Amino acid sequence: TTLVDDDVIREIDDLAELAPVHNHPHALALRACKKVITPGTPQVVVFDTAFHQTMP
């Protein structure tokens, strides 16, 4: 679990080549949420990459 800030969103975008179907759209959604959610409201992301890593 990671608290979202501008650096986290930028990093998600920077790693888009590793998960092109997911990363860029998620970064766009996080930016959109920041515009409409009350300032100061924490956003968090939960990455499940390790869970799926061992699945065939």
Residues forming the active site: 48
Longest dimension (CA), the chain: 41
User: Any long-range contacts for 52-55 (C-beta under 8 Å, 24+ apart)?
Assistant: none
Rounded CA-CA distance 44/5 in Å is 9
